[in-house]
Amino acid sequence: MKTFKFTKLAVLAFMAFGLFSCSDDDDGGDVIMPTNTIVDFVAENDDYSSLQAALEVTGLDATLNGSANFTVLAPNNAAFNSFLSTNGFSSLDEVPEDVLTQILLNHVQAGEIMSTDLSTGYIPSMAVWGTSEEPLSMYINTGDGVMINGMSTVTAADIEVDNGIIHAVDAVIGLPDVTTFAIADPNFDILVQAFTREESFNFVETLMMTEDPAPFTVFAPTNDAFVALLDELELGALADIPTETLEATLAYHVVAGANVRSGDLSDEMMVETLQGGEFTVNLGENVMITDARERTSTIIAANVQATNGVIHALDTVLLPPTE
């Protein structure tokens, strides 16, 4: 058996299962070692009864009780209660089974991943939902502990069991839409400020939609891209950009009605945007975009997959055609 790291949760598991048990069978007393799988750990901890019920309903308990290794981000009962309340469910039974299955898979990774193996950035989850058959992304932020998608924090890490690793988390990690990653990733802080600068802007509400005009492909400029734009325009702050100019510029970075991943792009592709203008894609060593003013931008991070679209990060803000 593997050595436990004695977090509070691991101590509980250790006490619940014991070191080993012996049974004298007819052949002379073979030692039978008890299992301590992910499912065993969950079942023996009262604070994980909701997770246990969810695993049983979806049939994922069989998967996590086998010999294959997994890493599980385990929400406790309080996390499930908050999730149900926030989403208008009075009980776990009201959550559609297909939705619940993907939510649980959004907490599971294949193999053993210790907290020290994690770094800030995007990883694929095991969940698939929405506009693409590709796995949904997860944003891991290790700047201060470990936070997932800006909504769930690891409260006890590296609990080792026979078939993997468990990290306790304080919130259920819901299925992300495009805005989830924009808000969670600090590299998009200025973009979020721009989307929400004016009360008349409806970008956030639009990018949370799951039906027409969804899905969306968002070419998202980073903070550095916005800083460079302000310098280019000789402006001191985001607030100095005229409202109409900012609104048109933001809409120029969104493609409606398509989940366009990097593999779907082709050289010299003309892309029509939500703003109405077009830009051109150029493939080479990097994926480049030429905007309506012949300025170029590079995709520096691709295929951040959400339920209602995909994000590609840009190093330069695109500018729409002048009227």
Which contacts of 79-86 are long-range, i.e. CB under 8 A and separated by 24 or more positions? Answer: 79/152, 79/169, 79/170, 79/171, 79/172, 80/50, 80/51, 80/54, 80/172, 81/50, 82/171, 82/172, 83/171, 83/172, 83/174
- Do 164 and 27 fall within a single domain? yes
Confidence label for 5 from pLDDT (cuts 50, 70 and 90):
very low
* Residues 160, 30 share a domain: yes
72 is a domain residue: yes
Task: Report residue 280: phi and psi, to 5°.
Answer: -115, 135
Q: What pLDDT is recorded for position 33? A: 52
Q: Do 274 and 206 sit in the same domain of this protein?
A: yes
Residues 163, 208 within the same domain: no
User: pLDDT of 267-314, one tens digit each?
Assistant: 999 999 999 999 999 999 999 999 999 999 999 999 999 999 999 999
pTM of the model: 0.88
12 within a domain of the structure (yes/no):
yes
Mean pLDDT of the chain: 91
Using DSSP's 3-state secondary structure scheme, residue 254 falls into: strand
**Same structural domain, 111 and 200:** no
Within a 10 A sphere around the Cβ of 117, how many other Cβ atoms?
11
- Residue 144 located in a structural domain: no
Burial class (CB in 10 A: 0-12, 13-18, 19+), 59: exposed
- Is 18 or 105 the better-scoring residue by pLDDT? 105
Task: Tell me, yes or no, whether 12 and 49 share the same domain.
Answer: yes
Domain that holds residue 207: 178-314
The answer to whether residues 198 and 163 belong to one domain is: no
**Measured on CA atoms in the order 287, 291, 295, 297, is the torsion positive or negative?**
negative
